[in-house]
C-alpha cells in the first residue's frame, strides 16, 4: 500500500485531537510512523484511519 504522506509531512488525526500535530517519520507498506507532540511516536495503519495534512504556514 502506498500513501501520500512522506517523511516531514505535518498531520493530525481527527479521532485523537488530544495527540496534537504530528510529523511523519516514515511511511512503509501502509504503516505510517508519526511523532505527535502530545502522544509521542505512534505507528498508524493507513487503511484504518484518516489523517489530515496540516499546513503550518497557513494563516490562522
Q: What is the pLDDT of residues 1-58, one digit of tens each?
A: 446 789 999 999 999 999 999 999 999 999 999 999 999 999 999 999 999 999 888 7
Continuous segment of H or E residues that includes residue 52: strand 52-53
**C-alpha cell of 41?**
511516536
> Given this model, what pLDDT does residue 37 score?
97
Q: How far is Cα 32 from Cα 49, in angstroms, rounded to an integer?
A: 10
> Given this model, what pLDDT does residue 60 score?
63
> Given this model, what pLDDT does residue 57 score?
83
> Domain locations in the chain?
10-53
> Given this model, what pLDDT does residue 56 score?
86
Residue listed under C-alpha cell 495503519: 45
Q: Which residue in 47, 51, 45, 48 sits closest to 21, CA to CA?
A: 51
Q: How far is Cα 31 from Cα 18, in angstroms, rounded to an integer?
A: 21
> Given this model, what pLDDT does residue 4 score?
78
Amino acid at each position: 500500500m502506498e500513501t501520500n504522506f512522506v517523511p516531514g509531512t505535518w498531520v493530525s488525526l481527527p479521532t485523537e485531537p488530544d495527540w496534537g500535530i504530528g510529523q511523519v517519520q516514515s511511511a512503509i507498506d501502509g504503516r505510517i510512523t508519526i511523532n505527535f507532540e502530545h502522544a509521542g511516536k505512534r505507528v498508524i495503519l493507513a487503511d484504518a484511519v484518516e489523517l489530515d495534512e496540516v499546513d503550518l504556514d497557513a494563516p490562522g
